[in-house]
A and B are shown apart, each in its own frame.
Chain A
Amino acid sequence: MSKRYGSTVALASLDLEINRGEVFGLLGPNGSGKTTFIRLLAGYLLPTSGRLEICGCDAVEQSLQARRMIGYVPEAAPVYGYMRVREFLAFMARLRGMTGRAVADAVDRVIAALALQAVADRPTGTLSRGFRQRTAIAQALVHDPEFLILDEPANGLDPRQIIEVRDLIRGLAGRHTVLMSSHVLGEVAKTADRVGVLLDGQLRGVRAMADTPDLEAWFLSLA
Protein backbone atom coordinates (compact mmCIF):
# COMPACT_ATOMS: atom_id res chain seq x y z
CA MET A 1 0.00 0.00 0.00
CA SER A 2 1.02 3.63 -0.46
CA LYS A 3 0.27 6.93 1.20
CA ARG A 4 0.78 10.31 -0.44
CA TYR A 5 0.20 13.84 0.80
CA GLY A 6 -0.25 15.74 -2.45
CA SER A 7 2.98 15.15 -4.36
CA THR A 8 4.87 13.98 -1.25
CA VAL A 9 5.19 10.21 -0.92
CA ALA A 10 5.00 9.27 2.77
CA LEU A 11 4.92 5.51 2.19
CA ALA A 12 5.86 3.87 -1.10
CA SER A 13 4.50 0.44 -2.03
CA LEU A 14 4.86 -0.99 1.45
CA ASP A 15 4.32 -4.74 1.54
CA LEU A 16 4.38 -6.33 5.00
CA GLU A 17 2.72 -9.16 6.87
CA ILE A 18 2.80 -9.34 10.66
CA ASN A 19 2.26 -12.82 12.10
CA ARG A 20 -0.38 -13.50 14.71
CA GLY A 21 1.06 -13.49 18.24
CA GLU A 22 4.43 -11.94 17.42
CA VAL A 23 6.00 -8.67 18.58
CA PHE A 24 7.03 -6.78 15.47
CA GLY A 25 9.40 -3.84 15.83
CA LEU A 26 9.34 -1.06 13.26
CA LEU A 27 12.63 0.74 13.23
CA GLY A 28 13.47 3.99 11.51
CA PRO A 29 14.69 7.53 12.06
CA ASN A 30 12.29 10.43 12.70
CA GLY A 31 10.36 11.29 9.53
CA SER A 32 10.83 7.86 7.97
CA GLY A 33 7.08 7.16 7.82
CA LYS A 34 6.64 5.04 10.98
CA THR A 35 3.83 7.16 12.43
CA THR A 36 2.08 7.39 9.05
CA PHE A 37 2.17 3.60 8.75
CA ILE A 38 0.88 3.18 12.29
CA ARG A 39 -1.92 5.72 11.76
CA LEU A 40 -2.97 3.85 8.63
CA LEU A 41 -3.15 0.59 10.57
CA ALA A 42 -5.06 2.24 13.41
CA GLY A 43 -7.65 3.59 10.96
CA TYR A 44 -6.83 7.25 11.59
CA LEU A 45 -5.65 7.72 7.99
CA LEU A 46 -6.74 6.12 4.76
CA PRO A 47 -4.23 4.70 2.29
CA THR A 48 -3.92 6.43 -1.09
CA SER A 49 -3.71 3.04 -2.78
CA GLY A 50 -3.36 -0.60 -1.85
CA ARG A 51 -4.95 -2.82 0.75
CA LEU A 52 -4.73 -3.11 4.53
CA GLU A 53 -6.04 -6.16 6.34
CA ILE A 54 -6.30 -6.54 10.11
CA CYS A 55 -7.07 -10.00 11.51
CA GLY A 56 -8.89 -10.85 8.28
CA CYS A 57 -10.85 -7.56 8.03
CA ASP A 58 -10.30 -4.99 5.32
CA ALA A 59 -9.25 -1.90 7.31
CA VAL A 60 -10.98 0.46 4.85
CA GLU A 61 -14.11 -1.46 3.79
CA GLN A 62 -14.75 -2.98 7.24
CA SER A 63 -13.26 -0.14 9.22
CA LEU A 64 -15.41 -0.40 12.38
CA GLN A 65 -14.92 -4.15 12.58
CA ALA A 66 -11.14 -3.77 12.14
CA ARG A 67 -10.96 -1.01 14.75
CA ARG A 68 -12.69 -3.25 17.32
CA MET A 69 -9.68 -5.57 17.20
CA ILE A 70 -7.12 -2.83 17.73
CA GLY A 71 -5.61 -1.24 20.80
CA TYR A 72 -3.68 1.87 19.86
CA VAL A 73 -1.24 4.07 21.76
CA PRO A 74 -0.39 7.23 19.76
CA GLU A 75 3.07 8.74 20.11
CA ALA A 76 1.84 11.69 22.20
CA ALA A 77 0.09 9.34 24.68
CA PRO A 78 -3.05 11.49 24.66
CA VAL A 79 -5.45 11.45 27.61
CA TYR A 80 -8.43 13.60 28.64
CA GLY A 81 -6.90 15.77 31.34
CA TYR A 82 -10.21 16.47 33.10
CA MET A 83 -10.95 12.77 33.64
CA ARG A 84 -9.53 10.68 36.47
CA VAL A 85 -7.45 7.67 35.40
CA ARG A 86 -10.21 5.21 36.32
CA GLU A 87 -12.86 7.34 34.55
CA PHE A 88 -10.72 7.65 31.44
CA LEU A 89 -10.12 3.90 31.23
CA ALA A 90 -13.83 3.19 31.77
CA PHE A 91 -14.71 5.71 29.03
CA MET A 92 -12.31 4.05 26.58
CA ALA A 93 -13.68 0.60 27.49
CA ARG A 94 -17.29 1.72 26.87
CA LEU A 95 -16.25 3.42 23.65
CA ARG A 96 -14.93 0.02 22.49
CA GLY A 97 -18.31 -1.56 23.19
CA MET A 98 -17.85 -2.97 26.72
CA THR A 99 -20.81 -2.72 29.10
CA GLY A 100 -21.83 -3.33 32.72
CA ARG A 101 -19.63 -5.18 35.19
CA ALA A 102 -17.12 -6.06 32.44
CA VAL A 103 -16.02 -2.40 32.33
CA ALA A 104 -15.10 -2.22 36.02
CA ASP A 105 -13.37 -5.62 35.86
CA ALA A 106 -11.35 -4.61 32.79
CA VAL A 107 -10.36 -1.29 34.36
CA ASP A 108 -9.19 -3.04 37.54
CA ARG A 109 -7.24 -5.55 35.45
CA VAL A 110 -5.29 -2.94 33.46
CA ILE A 111 -4.72 -0.73 36.52
CA ALA A 112 -3.07 -3.71 38.19
CA ALA A 113 -1.15 -4.72 35.03
CA LEU A 114 0.28 -1.24 34.51
CA ALA A 115 0.82 -0.56 38.24
CA LEU A 116 -1.46 2.48 38.22
CA GLN A 117 -3.06 1.87 41.65
CA ALA A 118 -1.38 4.91 43.23
CA VAL A 119 -2.80 7.32 40.64
CA ALA A 120 -6.08 5.58 39.76
CA ASP A 121 -8.20 8.37 41.27
CA ARG A 122 -6.08 11.29 40.13
CA PRO A 123 -6.99 13.49 37.13
CA THR A 124 -4.94 12.36 34.13
CA GLY A 125 -3.92 15.97 33.51
CA THR A 126 -1.84 15.97 36.70
CA LEU A 127 0.13 12.78 35.92
CA SER A 128 3.87 12.65 35.28
CA ARG A 129 4.99 11.67 31.75
CA GLY A 130 5.69 8.11 32.87
CA PHE A 131 2.29 7.55 34.47
CA ARG A 132 0.62 9.24 31.52
CA GLN A 133 2.36 6.87 29.11
CA ARG A 134 1.28 3.90 31.22
CA THR A 135 -2.30 5.20 31.31
CA ALA A 136 -2.23 5.49 27.52
CA ILE A 137 -1.01 1.88 27.25
CA ALA A 138 -3.70 0.81 29.74
CA GLN A 139 -6.47 2.34 27.59
CA ALA A 140 -5.19 0.38 24.60
CA LEU A 141 -5.32 -2.88 26.55
CA VAL A 142 -8.58 -2.33 28.41
CA HIS A 143 -10.75 -4.19 25.84
CA ASP A 144 -8.19 -7.00 25.47
CA PRO A 145 -7.54 -6.37 21.74
CA GLU A 146 -6.09 -8.93 19.37
CA PHE A 147 -3.72 -6.39 17.83
CA LEU A 148 -1.84 -3.81 19.86
CA ILE A 149 -0.19 -0.87 18.10
CA LEU A 150 2.35 1.16 20.07
CA ASP A 151 3.94 4.27 18.59
CA GLU A 152 7.22 4.94 20.42
CA PRO A 153 6.02 3.32 23.69
CA ALA A 154 9.24 4.08 25.59
CA ASN A 155 8.99 7.84 24.99
CA GLY A 156 9.38 9.84 28.19
CA LEU A 157 9.83 6.84 30.46
CA ASP A 158 12.65 6.52 32.98
CA PRO A 159 14.95 3.44 32.75
CA ARG A 160 12.97 1.46 35.33
CA GLN A 161 9.67 2.21 33.55
CA ILE A 162 11.21 1.29 30.19
CA ILE A 163 12.12 -2.13 31.59
CA GLU A 164 8.60 -2.54 33.01
CA VAL A 165 6.94 -1.61 29.69
CA ARG A 166 9.33 -3.89 27.82
CA ASP A 167 8.43 -6.78 30.12
CA LEU A 168 4.76 -5.96 29.68
CA ILE A 169 5.04 -6.04 25.88
CA ARG A 170 6.98 -9.30 26.00
CA GLY A 171 4.27 -10.68 28.27
CA LEU A 172 1.62 -9.84 25.67
CA ALA A 173 3.36 -11.85 22.95
CA GLY A 174 1.53 -15.02 22.03
CA ARG A 175 -1.90 -13.89 23.23
CA HIS A 176 -1.73 -10.59 21.32
CA THR A 177 -0.06 -9.42 18.14
CA VAL A 178 2.04 -6.35 18.87
CA LEU A 179 3.44 -3.73 16.52
CA MET A 180 5.75 -1.23 18.13
CA SER A 181 7.68 1.56 16.48
CA SER A 182 10.89 3.03 17.78
CA HIS A 183 13.94 4.91 16.68
CA VAL A 184 15.98 3.30 19.46
CA LEU A 185 17.73 0.17 18.20
CA GLY A 186 18.31 -1.26 21.67
CA GLU A 187 14.63 -1.13 22.56
CA VAL A 188 13.55 -2.98 19.44
CA ALA A 189 16.36 -5.52 19.84
CA LYS A 190 15.27 -6.39 23.38
CA THR A 191 11.52 -6.48 22.71
CA ALA A 192 10.72 -7.63 19.16
CA ASP A 193 10.58 -11.10 17.60
CA ARG A 194 11.00 -9.60 14.12
CA VAL A 195 12.10 -6.19 13.01
CA GLY A 196 11.45 -4.09 9.89
CA VAL A 197 13.50 -1.09 8.85
CA LEU A 198 11.65 1.86 7.34
CA LEU A 199 13.69 4.56 5.63
CA ASP A 200 12.29 7.45 3.56
CA GLY A 201 8.89 5.81 3.37
CA GLN A 202 10.27 2.51 2.07
CA LEU A 203 10.50 -0.79 3.89
CA ARG A 204 14.16 -1.67 3.34
CA GLY A 205 14.20 -5.04 5.08
CA VAL A 206 12.55 -7.42 7.53
CA ARG A 207 14.39 -9.93 9.71
CA ALA A 208 13.85 -12.20 12.69
CA MET A 209 15.78 -10.96 15.70
CA ALA A 210 17.09 -14.49 16.20
CA ASP A 211 18.85 -14.17 12.81
CA THR A 212 20.19 -10.69 13.55
CA PRO A 213 22.98 -10.84 16.11
CA ASP A 214 24.14 -7.31 15.25
CA LEU A 215 21.08 -5.13 14.65
CA GLU A 216 23.15 -1.94 14.48
CA ALA A 217 25.37 -3.27 11.69
CA TRP A 218 22.36 -4.51 9.71
CA PHE A 219 20.59 -1.18 10.14
CA LEU A 220 23.66 0.76 8.97
CA SER A 221 24.06 -1.54 5.97
CA LEU A 222 20.49 -0.67 4.87
CA ALA A 223 20.85 3.06 5.55
Chain B
Amino acid sequence: MRALGVLLRKELLATFGSPIGYTVAAVFLLVLGYTFSLTLFATKVANLVYIFHQMYVLTILLVPALTMRAFAEERRNDTLELLLTAPVGEVWIVLAKFLAVFALVLGMYLGAFAYALVLDAHGAPDWGPIASGYLAIICHAALIVSIGLLMSSLTENQVVAAALTLGAALMLWFADSVSYLLPPPFDVLAINLSLIGHFRPMVTGSVFVSEAHTDKGQAERRYELCFRQLLQLRQFA
Protein backbone atom coordinates (compact mmCIF):
# COMPACT_ATOMS: atom_id res chain seq x y z
CA MET B 1 0.00 0.00 0.00
CA ARG B 2 2.91 2.37 0.70
CA ALA B 3 4.13 1.84 -2.85
CA LEU B 4 0.67 2.84 -4.09
CA GLY B 5 0.95 6.12 -2.18
CA VAL B 6 4.37 6.89 -3.69
CA LEU B 7 3.21 6.02 -7.21
CA LEU B 8 -0.10 7.85 -6.85
CA ARG B 9 1.69 11.03 -5.77
CA LYS B 10 3.88 10.82 -8.87
CA GLU B 11 0.89 10.15 -11.13
CA LEU B 12 -1.10 13.05 -9.65
CA LEU B 13 1.91 15.32 -10.18
CA ALA B 14 2.06 14.21 -13.84
CA THR B 15 -1.71 14.44 -14.39
CA PHE B 16 -2.30 17.77 -12.67
CA GLY B 17 1.03 19.21 -13.82
CA SER B 18 0.18 18.69 -17.47
CA PRO B 19 -1.79 21.21 -19.55
CA ILE B 20 -3.72 18.30 -21.11
CA GLY B 21 -5.73 17.75 -17.92
CA TYR B 22 -6.71 21.40 -17.56
CA THR B 23 -7.54 21.73 -21.26
CA VAL B 24 -9.76 18.66 -21.20
CA ALA B 25 -11.50 19.86 -18.01
CA ALA B 26 -12.04 23.33 -19.48
CA VAL B 27 -13.49 21.95 -22.74
CA PHE B 28 -15.69 19.54 -20.79
CA LEU B 29 -17.16 22.24 -18.54
CA LEU B 30 -17.50 24.78 -21.37
CA VAL B 31 -19.47 22.42 -23.62
CA LEU B 32 -21.55 21.22 -20.70
CA GLY B 33 -22.34 24.77 -19.57
CA TYR B 34 -23.41 25.69 -23.09
CA THR B 35 -25.68 22.61 -23.32
CA PHE B 36 -27.10 23.16 -19.84
CA SER B 37 -28.04 26.78 -20.60
CA LEU B 38 -29.59 25.88 -23.96
CA THR B 39 -31.58 22.94 -22.55
CA LEU B 40 -32.77 24.85 -19.51
CA PHE B 41 -34.00 27.84 -21.53
CA ALA B 42 -35.59 25.59 -24.17
CA THR B 43 -37.39 23.09 -21.90
CA LYS B 44 -37.71 25.01 -18.62
CA VAL B 45 -37.69 21.59 -16.89
CA ALA B 46 -35.56 21.08 -13.79
CA ASN B 47 -33.81 17.81 -14.62
CA LEU B 48 -30.32 16.81 -15.69
CA VAL B 49 -31.09 13.89 -18.01
CA TYR B 50 -29.80 15.76 -21.09
CA ILE B 51 -26.74 16.88 -19.18
CA PHE B 52 -25.92 13.31 -18.15
CA HIS B 53 -26.21 12.17 -21.78
CA GLN B 54 -23.89 15.02 -22.74
CA MET B 55 -21.46 13.96 -20.01
CA TYR B 56 -21.65 10.39 -21.31
CA VAL B 57 -20.63 11.49 -24.83
CA LEU B 58 -17.97 13.94 -23.62
CA THR B 59 -16.47 11.25 -21.38
CA ILE B 60 -16.09 8.94 -24.37
CA LEU B 61 -14.59 11.74 -26.49
CA LEU B 62 -12.30 13.38 -23.92
CA VAL B 63 -11.10 10.66 -21.52
CA PRO B 64 -8.88 9.04 -24.23
CA ALA B 65 -6.86 12.29 -24.20
CA LEU B 66 -6.26 11.79 -20.47
CA THR B 67 -5.41 8.09 -20.55
CA MET B 68 -3.34 8.02 -23.74
CA ARG B 69 -0.11 9.07 -22.04
CA ALA B 70 -0.41 6.71 -19.03
CA PHE B 71 1.77 3.88 -20.32
CA ALA B 72 2.53 5.02 -23.89
CA GLU B 73 4.59 7.97 -22.65
CA GLU B 74 6.41 5.83 -20.08
CA ARG B 75 7.34 3.37 -22.82
CA ARG B 76 8.43 6.07 -25.27
CA ASN B 77 10.59 7.81 -22.64
CA ASP B 78 11.94 4.46 -21.33
CA THR B 79 10.77 5.37 -17.81
CA LEU B 80 8.59 2.23 -17.74
CA GLU B 81 11.89 0.38 -17.34
CA LEU B 82 12.49 2.28 -14.09
CA LEU B 83 9.03 1.41 -12.75
CA LEU B 84 9.10 -2.25 -13.75
CA THR B 85 12.57 -2.82 -12.29
CA ALA B 86 11.66 -1.17 -8.97
CA PRO B 87 10.61 -3.48 -6.12
CA VAL B 88 6.88 -2.74 -6.47
CA GLY B 89 4.09 -4.96 -7.77
CA GLU B 90 2.70 -4.25 -11.24
CA VAL B 91 -0.79 -4.05 -9.73
CA TRP B 92 0.17 -0.84 -7.82
CA ILE B 93 1.60 0.75 -10.96
CA VAL B 94 -1.67 0.17 -12.84
CA LEU B 95 -3.86 1.15 -9.90
CA ALA B 96 -1.96 4.43 -9.33
CA LYS B 97 -2.40 5.41 -12.98
CA PHE B 98 -6.09 4.51 -12.85
CA LEU B 99 -6.73 6.49 -9.67
CA ALA B 100 -4.88 9.60 -10.92
CA VAL B 101 -6.90 9.86 -14.14
CA PHE B 102 -10.12 8.87 -12.35
CA ALA B 103 -9.51 11.63 -9.78
CA LEU B 104 -9.27 14.21 -12.56
CA VAL B 105 -12.48 12.93 -14.19
CA LEU B 106 -14.26 13.02 -10.84
CA GLY B 107 -13.03 16.59 -10.41
CA MET B 108 -14.63 17.45 -13.76
CA TYR B 109 -17.89 15.82 -12.68
CA LEU B 110 -17.74 17.73 -9.39
CA GLY B 111 -17.53 20.96 -11.40
CA ALA B 112 -20.61 19.87 -13.33
CA PHE B 113 -22.47 19.43 -10.01
CA ALA B 114 -22.89 23.22 -10.07
CA TYR B 115 -25.72 22.67 -12.57
CA ALA B 116 -27.65 20.58 -10.06
CA LEU B 117 -27.18 23.33 -7.48
CA VAL B 118 -28.44 25.93 -9.99
CA LEU B 119 -31.56 23.81 -10.57
CA ASP B 120 -32.04 23.46 -6.83
CA ALA B 121 -31.72 27.22 -6.32
CA HIS B 122 -34.29 28.10 -8.99
CA GLY B 123 -36.57 25.04 -9.09
CA ALA B 124 -37.43 21.78 -7.38
CA PRO B 125 -35.43 19.00 -9.06
CA ASP B 126 -35.97 15.33 -8.22
CA TRP B 127 -32.71 14.40 -6.51
CA GLY B 128 -33.22 10.64 -7.03
CA PRO B 129 -32.48 10.62 -10.78
CA ILE B 130 -29.66 13.12 -10.23
CA ALA B 131 -28.03 10.74 -7.73
CA SER B 132 -28.53 7.70 -9.97
CA GLY B 133 -27.30 9.74 -12.95
CA TYR B 134 -24.10 10.54 -11.11
CA LEU B 135 -23.71 6.88 -10.17
CA ALA B 136 -24.16 5.92 -13.84
CA ILE B 137 -21.68 8.47 -15.15
CA ILE B 138 -19.08 7.55 -12.50
CA CYS B 139 -19.34 3.82 -13.42
CA HIS B 140 -19.15 4.83 -17.09
CA ALA B 141 -16.01 6.91 -16.46
CA ALA B 142 -14.34 4.05 -14.55
CA LEU B 143 -14.94 1.80 -17.55
CA ILE B 144 -13.63 4.29 -20.13
CA VAL B 145 -10.53 5.04 -18.00
CA SER B 146 -9.87 1.28 -17.72
CA ILE B 147 -10.20 0.84 -21.49
CA GLY B 148 -7.89 3.84 -21.99
CA LEU B 149 -5.21 2.38 -19.72
CA LEU B 150 -5.41 -0.97 -21.49
CA MET B 151 -4.98 0.68 -24.90
CA SER B 152 -2.14 2.87 -23.62
CA SER B 153 -0.31 -0.25 -22.43
CA LEU B 154 -0.48 -1.76 -25.93
CA THR B 155 1.46 0.94 -27.76
CA GLU B 156 4.09 3.63 -27.26
CA ASN B 157 2.26 6.02 -29.57
CA GLN B 158 -0.14 8.22 -27.62
CA VAL B 159 -2.31 9.09 -30.63
CA VAL B 160 -2.75 5.40 -31.45
CA ALA B 161 -3.68 4.74 -27.80
CA ALA B 162 -6.30 7.53 -27.87
CA ALA B 163 -7.72 6.33 -31.20
CA LEU B 164 -7.97 2.73 -29.97
CA THR B 165 -9.74 3.85 -26.78
CA LEU B 166 -12.19 5.98 -28.71
CA GLY B 167 -12.84 3.14 -31.17
CA ALA B 168 -13.39 0.58 -28.39
CA ALA B 169 -15.72 2.91 -26.47
CA LEU B 170 -17.76 3.71 -29.59
CA MET B 171 -18.05 0.01 -30.45
CA LEU B 172 -19.30 -0.70 -26.92
CA TRP B 173 -21.71 2.22 -27.14
CA PHE B 174 -23.41 0.71 -30.19
CA ALA B 175 -22.79 -2.96 -29.33
CA ASP B 176 -26.50 -3.76 -29.03
CA SER B 177 -27.24 -2.63 -32.61
CA VAL B 178 -25.82 -5.87 -34.01
CA SER B 179 -27.76 -8.10 -31.62
CA TYR B 180 -30.59 -8.83 -34.08
CA LEU B 181 -28.02 -10.24 -36.53
CA LEU B 182 -26.53 -12.64 -34.00
CA PRO B 183 -27.71 -16.09 -32.89
CA PRO B 184 -28.33 -16.83 -29.20
CA PRO B 185 -26.53 -16.47 -26.82
CA PHE B 186 -24.39 -13.88 -28.67
CA ASP B 187 -27.37 -11.55 -29.17
CA VAL B 188 -27.82 -11.31 -25.40
CA LEU B 189 -24.08 -10.81 -24.99
CA ALA B 190 -24.14 -7.90 -27.47
CA ILE B 191 -27.07 -6.31 -25.65
CA ASN B 192 -25.32 -6.67 -22.30
CA LEU B 193 -22.11 -5.18 -23.69
CA SER B 194 -23.93 -2.04 -24.78
CA LEU B 195 -22.92 1.00 -22.73
CA ILE B 196 -25.97 3.07 -23.55
CA GLY B 197 -28.24 0.14 -22.72
CA HIS B 198 -27.02 0.22 -19.13
CA PHE B 199 -26.64 3.99 -18.93
CA ARG B 200 -30.07 5.13 -20.15
CA PRO B 201 -32.21 3.54 -17.40
CA MET B 202 -29.88 4.75 -14.65
CA VAL B 203 -29.95 8.43 -15.65
CA THR B 204 -33.74 8.38 -15.52
CA GLY B 205 -33.67 6.99 -11.99
CA SER B 206 -33.99 3.23 -12.61
CA VAL B 207 -31.12 1.60 -10.78
CA PHE B 208 -30.80 -2.16 -11.08
CA VAL B 209 -28.04 -3.92 -9.18
CA SER B 210 -27.37 -6.01 -12.31
CA GLU B 211 -26.63 -2.82 -14.33
CA ALA B 212 -24.11 -1.50 -11.84
CA HIS B 213 -22.60 -4.96 -11.61
CA THR B 214 -22.11 -5.12 -15.39
CA ASP B 215 -20.32 -1.75 -15.54
CA LYS B 216 -18.16 -2.66 -12.55
CA GLY B 217 -17.44 -6.07 -14.07
CA GLN B 218 -16.39 -4.56 -17.39
CA ALA B 219 -14.13 -2.00 -15.69
CA GLU B 220 -12.53 -4.73 -13.58
CA ARG B 221 -11.96 -6.84 -16.71
CA ARG B 222 -10.21 -3.94 -18.53
CA TYR B 223 -8.13 -3.22 -15.43
CA GLU B 224 -7.10 -6.87 -15.22
CA LEU B 225 -6.23 -6.97 -18.94
CA CYS B 226 -4.06 -3.88 -18.51
CA PHE B 227 -2.26 -5.53 -15.58
CA ARG B 228 -1.71 -8.69 -17.64
CA GLN B 229 -0.41 -6.62 -20.55
CA LEU B 230 2.29 -5.23 -18.24
CA LEU B 231 3.24 -8.73 -17.17
CA GLN B 232 3.45 -9.78 -20.82
CA LEU B 233 5.77 -6.86 -21.54
CA ARG B 234 8.40 -8.62 -19.46
CA GLN B 235 8.07 -11.69 -21.66
CA PHE B 236 7.95 -10.09 -25.08
CA ALA B 237 9.42 -6.56 -24.79
Instruction: Check B43 for interface membership: any CB of A closer than 8 A.
Output: no
Q: Chain B residues with Cβ under 8 A from A44's Cβ? A: 81, 84-85, 234, 237
A96 and B236 form a contact (CB under 8 A): no
Q: List 28 interface pairs A-B (beta carbons < 8 Å), by A numbering.
A: A5-B236, A39-B81, A43-B234, A44-B85, A45-B234, A45-B235, A46-B234, A64-B87, A64-B88, A64-B89, A65-B87, A67-B86, A67-B87, A70-B85, A74-B78, A78-B77, A78-B81, A78-B82, A79-B79, A81-B77, A82-B14, A83-B13, A91-B6, A91-B9, A95-B83, A95-B86, A96-B87, A97-B87
Determine chain B's interface SS by DSSP, over half rule. Answer: helix
Instruction: Check A80 for interface membership: any CB of B closer than 8 A.
Output: yes
Q: Chain B residues with Cβ under 8 A from A72's Cβ? A: 81-82, 85
Instruction: Check B7 for interface membership: any CB of A closer than 8 A.
Output: yes
A44 to B137, CA, bound (A): 37
Q: Chain B residues with Cβ under 8 A from A65's Cβ? A: 87
| CB neighbors of A among B60-89 (8 A) | 77-79, 81-89
Over the window 19-58 of chain A, the binary record of Cβ atoms lying under 8 Å from chain B Cβ atoms (1 yes, 0 no) is 0000000000000000000010011111000000000000
Q: Contacts A64-B87, A64-B89 hold; do A91 and B10 have CB atoms under 8 A apart?
A: yes
Q: Chain A residues with Cβ under 8 A from B13's Cβ? A: 82-83
Instruction: Check B57 for interface membership: any CB of A closer than 8 A.
Output: no
Over the window 157-181 of chain A, the binary record of Cβ atoms lying under 8 Å from chain B Cβ atoms (1 yes, 0 no) is 0000000000000000000000000
| Residues of A within 8 A of B (CB-CB), count | 29
Instruction: Check A139 for interface membership: any CB of B closer than 8 A.
Output: yes
Sample of 6 further A-B pairs with CB below 8 A, known A45-B234, A94-B6: A5-B236, A46-B235, A72-B85, A83-B10, A92-B82, A95-B87
Instruction: Check B3 for interface membership: any CB of A closer than 8 A.
Output: yes
A220 to B2, CA, bound (A): 51
Instruction: Check A109 for interface membership: any CB of B closer than 8 A.
Output: no
A72 to B83, CA, bound (A): 11
Over the window 59-88 of chain A, the binary record of Cβ atoms lying under 8 Å from chain B Cβ atoms (1 yes, 0 no) is 000001101101010101011111100000
A74 to B75, CA, bound (A): 13
* Pick from B17, B86, B89: contact of A96, CB under 8 Å: B86
Give the Cβ gap from A130 to chain B, nearest Cβ, in Å.
18
